[in-house]
Amino acid sequence: MMNNTDMEVLQKCLQWQNESRRVTLATVVKTWGSSPRPVGSLLALRDDGLLAGSVSGGCIEADLIERVRTASPTQPEVLTYGGTAEECHRFSLPCGGTLQLVLEPAPNALVLQAILDALTQRRLIGRRIELATGRTMLYLPHIDEATQFDGQSLTTVHGPSWRLLLIGAGQISRYLAQMALALDYQVQACDPREEYSAAWDVAGAKLVPGMPDDAVTASRPDLRSAVIALTHDPKLDDMALLEALKSPAFYVGAIGSNANNQRRRERLRLFDLSEAEIGRLHGPVGLPIGSRTPPEIAVSILAELTAVRHGIELVVLPAAANGPLTCEPLAAVS
């Protein structure tokens, strides 16, 4: 799925082509062993060596720049880096890592614009390109589809940005917003308490007015949205949770102790929520990593968000005598 960085790559790709520059789009299609960037990562290369995005964290970009400067292919091609100790050393790839890319010269500008339009409207869109001919088509993918490459055709799936709505504008929310922005979330915060909202100044994270339940409804949470209640005030947190738990949001969480969250669940049962909807609540929010300070709590929350996004189900292991709680992956949810 696409993130904000990848959207910027496609925007640059389109901009450069509109400026009559020669552009090549690189997509990571397969990895083996250790790999700096995941499958689906994008890189746009302009004919003068200017870059947007990354496919290796800098390991092979120099070689790609040299290729686009000295060659003018007309059809997509497949490149493989690594696999041998010599190549891993040459391209500074992690030991044993192998990276396969598809390079597309002059990607279709109309297709790029259609993808960007869909993302602006928060619609999922898929793109399929035949390597032999360069023919490209758009289609409506399934929500859990991902980048696929079979040697003859490349399929990429592009989804809207991940969104995070924070209920509360306190210290934890500030750290959480700053960290989430670095992970390409679109972040909003809602807090009707003037003493908190007046001090909100996190650049890039919009403060939305009104009551929490109205903010959740107005945001229209979808499968790429998360809502986290952080005020410690049941009158505010519960209102937001009532709306969020009925939405398709992939993650709904609330801060508080185990006892407080048990009481919260009992309160939620008094309203029109099913047991399945109440069971979606992550509370206490975050992973049990012994976090105490606001930034540590923010790290624990984002760690759990990341696990849920990637379909990793975690199990909390019993604590040893006087030992800390630990957690480890139980399974990858398909």
Alpha carbons 59 and 55: distance in angstroms, whole number: 9
Query: Are 80 and 179 in the same domain?
Result: no
3-class secondary-structure state, position 231? coil
Q: Are 125 and 241 found together in one domain?
A: no
Pick the closest to residue 158 from 20, 334, 2 (CA basis).
2
Instruction: State whether 167 and 154 are in the same domain.
Output: no
Residues composing the chain: 334
How far is 34 from 57, CA to CA, in rounded Å?
13
Whether residue 257 is predicted with pLDDT greater than 60 in this model: the reply is yes
* Per-residue confidence band for 259, with pLDDT thresholds at 50, 70 and 90: very high
Do 54 and 107 lie in one domain? The reply is yes
- Domain of 70 in residue numbering reads as 4-158
Last residue in a domain, options 158, 182, 210: 158
Specify whether 262 is located in the same domain as 302.
yes
Q: In percent, how much of the chain has pLDDT > 90?
A: 67
The pLDDT score that the predictor gives to residue 214 is 97
Determine the pLDDT at residue 189.
98
For residues 174-200, give the mean pLDDT: 95
Residue 133 to residue 26: CA distance in whole angstroms: 17
The pLDDT, as a whole number, for residue 103 is: 95
SS3 call for 207? strand
The pLDDT of residue 333 is 44
Same domain, 106 and 33: yes
Q: Residue 1: is its pLDDT beyond 70?
A: no
CA pair distance 230, 232, nearest whole angstrom = 6
pLDDT at 299: 97
Closest listed residue to residue 76, CA positions, set 26, 37, 31, 114: 26
Q: Give 201's Cβ-side CA count (13 Å radius).
A: 3
Residues 121 and 168 in one domain: no
CATH number at residue 230: 3.40.50.720
Work out the pLDDT band at 192, boundaries 50, 70, 90.
very high
Write down which residue in 139, 158, 177 finishes a domain.
158
Stretch 185-207: mean pLDDT = 95
Please report the pLDDT score of residue 321 as a whole number: 44
Q: What's the average model confidence in pLDDT over 187-205?
A: 96
Least confident of 11-20, 66-75, 83-92, 283-292: 83-92
* Residue ranges in 92-193 assigned as alpha helix (H): 109-120, 171-182
Residue 85 has pLDDT above 90, yes or no: no
Alpha helices in the chain (DSSP H): 4-18, 61-70, 85-91, 109-120, 171-182, 194-197, 212-219, 234-244, 258-268, 275-279, 294-309
304 and 209 inside one domain: yes
Q: 56 or 29, which is more confident?
A: 29
Q: Looking at 135, 158, 181, which one is the last position of a domain?
A: 158
Same domain flag for 256 and 311: yes
Q: Which two tokens stand for residue 305?
A: 């968000």
Structural domains counted in the chain? 2
Q: What are 32's two structure tokens? A: 């083996």
Q: Decide if 127 contacts 102 (C-beta within 8 A).
A: no
pLDDT for 86 equals 58
How far apart CA 118 and CA 330 sit, in angstroms, is 35
Q: What is the mean pLDDT of the chain?
A: 88
- Residues in Cβ contact with 76 at an 8 Å cutoff, skipping those fewer than 6 apart: 102, 103, 104, 105, 129, 131, 134, 154
> For residue 77, what are the β-bridge partners?
103
Checking if the pLDDT of 276 tops 50, the result is yes
The answer to whether the bond into 284 is cis (omega within 30° of 0) is: yes
pLDDT band at residue 305 using 50, 70 and 90 as cut-offs: very high
pLDDT band at residue 92, thresholds of 50, 70 and 90?
low
Top-ranked range on mean pLDDT: pick from 64-78, 152-166, 187-201:
187-201
- Kindly tell me the sign of the dihedral angle through the C-alpha atoms of 292, 164, 224, 12: negative
pLDDT at 2: 53
Do 181 and 151 sit in the same domain of this protein?
A: no
Sheet of strand 281-282: strand arrangement: 205-208, 186-190, 163-167, 225-229, 251-254, 281-282
Same domain, 64 and 209: no
In the chain, the amino acid numbered 228 is: I
211 contacts 185 by C-beta, under 8 angstroms: no
pLDDT at site 71: 79
| pLDDT greater than 90 at residue 216 | yes
> Is pLDDT above 80 for 19?
yes
Task: pLDDT band for 174, please (50, 70, 90 cuts).
Answer: very high
Tokens representing 244?
A: 């969020």
Residues 102 and 124 in one domain: yes
- Other beta carbons within 10 angstroms of residue 334's beta carbon come to 5
**Is residue 133's pLDDT more than 50?**
yes
